[in-house]
Amino acid sequence: MEQAKPRQAVALIVGVTGMVGVAITEALKQPTTLGGLWTVYGVSRRSLPTWFPSSLLDKHIMLDTLNQHQTHEILAPLSSQITHVFWVALQVSESEQVCISLNSTMLSNVLNALTSSPNSKLIHVTLQTGTKQYVGPVFDPTLSTQLIPHDSPFIEDYPRLPFPSFYHALEDILASYSKSLAYSIHRPSMIIGASTRSYFNIPLTLAVYALVCKHQNYPFRYVGNKYSWEHFWDVSDARVIVEQQIWASVTDKAKNEAFNCTNGDVFTWKMIWKVLCDVFGVEFVPFDEKEKFDVVEFMKDKGEVWDRIVKENGLYKTKMEEITCFGPLDSLLKLEIQHVCSMNKSREFGFQGYSNTLKSIPEWVHRLRQMKILP
């Protein structure tokens, strides 16, 4: 397959400290990565945490991309160097309209800064969105009551749902640049990755919940409904997402296309719950729909318990409310849909990445333990 890449590829990872940002940083510095060894710049709003592999970055840029002046002042001088943008940044609000405004502003500010010069070298942008493309704004308190999701398995060519979506807004911004640069759109499911700096970090939220239950001798009860307990879901290993994004960024056939990106297998949450019990050493409790359980209410006063777990185990200092998302977790696992994406298009275009979900969870926990994020 023909691949296009400049002689010197320079990547700008926007959202570098998130689950996928960390994985991109590591992957681009591997000698076997498509396109060779890359120069890697990373953008984040805050300084790098101690667990971040900072030695792999050629340059770290602390920048609030919502600030148009600051973004232009810092990134415009780099426009003659940066060839690829990996967009894995995210600003979150309960209101989808606010999400549209925030995320559109960030992407526009960065692209304007990098393309304003006639010497701009930018040739490709990878945009990470997600499966709300097929389900709708599940976290908007008003719109979430009106959802009519597409049938699963979700396919990329489904028409847009009739709801406001910041995914659509970002896709439209990229399309407006299509005469001057190529892009690819990547739609992962729930992401498994190693970071304390990601919104909607469902796996880390479940880990904190399990460890609090273990510490306090509470039963580790399932937080969703019977439907999600018994029906199929999929997830996305950050390593697979990164493999797909890099592949698309250097592959002519993938230009200006959208791709689902999941591990390629499916599971039930009953299966996942057993794996979580094994890796965290808690007893498996079968789901009982007669027992009503509200994980948001249960965990709202457990911050001090997490503080003790962190202190007792000498972990990287985190606050429970900053690394967990019990509201979104509760919403997702109470959906009555089979959350499964088709990977057929991705395979047909030549991407063959895959991960065994039930094996990737223990690997993820091991990595977080090495980083001193989990005990």
| Residue in 41, 132, 209, 302 annotated catalytic | 132
Helices 166-175, 96-115: crossing angle, 10 deg rounding: 20
Closest residue by Cα to residue 51 from 367, 313, 280:
367
First-last CA distance in the chain: 44
29 counts as catalytic = no
Q: How far apart are CA 184 and CA 182, in angstroms?
A: 7
Find tokens 């079968």 and name the residue. 286
Q: Which two tokens stand for residue 182?
A: 């190529």
Q: Which two tokens stand for residue 49?
A: 């945490």
| Residue in 41, 121, 134, 167 annotated catalytic | 167
8 A C-beta contact, residue 325 and residue 202: yes
> Can you tell me whether residue 118 is helix, strand or coil?
coil
Q: Which two tokens stand for residue 59?
A: 């340059």
Strand partners, 126: 86, 184
8 A C-beta contact, residue 296 and residue 330: yes
Full 3-state SS string of 46-100:
CCCCCCCCHHHCCEEEECCCCCHHHHHHHHHHHCCCCCEEEECCCCCCCCHHHHH
Is-cis flag, bond preceding 328, omega within 30?
Answer: no
311 counts as catalytic = no
Find tokens 């090495």 and name the residue. 370
Q: How far apart are CA 351 and CA 251, in angstroms?
A: 10
Catalogue the active-site residues. 132, 167
